[in-house]
Amino acid sequence: MSKTLSLQLKNDMDSLMRVLSTLRRKKFNISNVNMEKTYDTDSSKLFITIEDQLNLGINQAIKQMKKLVDVTEIKELKEEI
């Protein structure tokens, strides 16, 4: 099952690499990444789709991302039916 997370983080490559490496270290399978600038030039919006085949849980991924200094906001996007 795939889940999508929306994160707001500091607008630099190091922030993106910290997020991705944390998820990979925790064995989450990342299937899609999309990063775009916001109106505020100091931050970016990051969308990550995670395949949860090992049943690690999306809540665990959210907890890990909240620990990162560069992440200012995180939420799970709900699928539209």
Ordered domains of the chain (ranges, CATH): 2-77 (3.30.70.260)
Question: Which pLDDT does position 14 carry in this prediction?
Answer: 92
pLDDT interval class at 79 (50, 70, 90): low
In the predicted model, is pLDDT for residue 73 greater than 90?
yes
Question: Which pLDDT does position 19 carry in this prediction?
Answer: 93
Nearest to 19 by CA among 78, 42, 30: 30
- Tens of pLDDT, residues 17-72: 999 998 988 888 899 999 998 888 889 999 999 987 666 678 888 888 899 999 99
